[in-house]
Amino acid sequence: METLVAFTVGVMAAGSVYLLLSHNLVRVLFGLILLSNAANFVIFAAGGMTEGLPPLIGLGEKALTGVYSNPLPQALILTAIVISFGLLAFALVLVYRGYQELGTVDSDRMRLAEPPHPDQDIPEPEEPGRLHVRDASRRVENLGSPQS
């Protein structure tokens, strides 16, 4: 089974990286979802996969007996799932706010924090009249000045 998983997570990881490398941030988010699923799967399989009994101690017993699945990776993954959910929610909101400010989900056009090098060509805004990175960098310079 683990061998099968090894190939499955390989494909999942490849797919997620392909999505992460996109300049469409929605696809990047999808890549993030896929990557966290793959990572959890990796941890689970690395701890050994035993079909059947969950690590629950039977009534009257003092410890786990017989064949049971490995509890340690389960505890690790359980929190990892919740954390990657928190991360994803935050990233989603970030993309959404980025869209509100810059009118695009194209990461190539989001150059507010790192203004383009002199010879780099940044595409024009998708919607006419939207903030272009040129204006954006100007706005960053003005941040310190008092609001009119």
Judged by CB under 8 A, the chain residues 107 through 146 that form the site for other proteins are 107-108, 110-111, 114-117, 120, 126, 128-131, 135, 139
Dig out the tokens for 112 from the structure: 């507010």
As measured in angstroms, the least distance from the Cβ of 110 to other proteins is 7
Within 81-100, the residues that bind other proteins by CB under 8 A are: 81-83, 85-90, 92-97, 99-100
Distance CA 66, CA 55 (A): 10
Report in angstroms the alpha-carbon separations of 49 from 7, 40, 70, 81, 134. 15, 13, 8, 18, 54
As measured in angstroms, the least distance from the Cβ of 14 to other proteins is 3
Nearest to 134 by CA among 117, 101, 112: 112
Within 21-40, the residues that bind other proteins by CB under 8 A are: 21-24, 26-30, 33-34, 37-38, 40
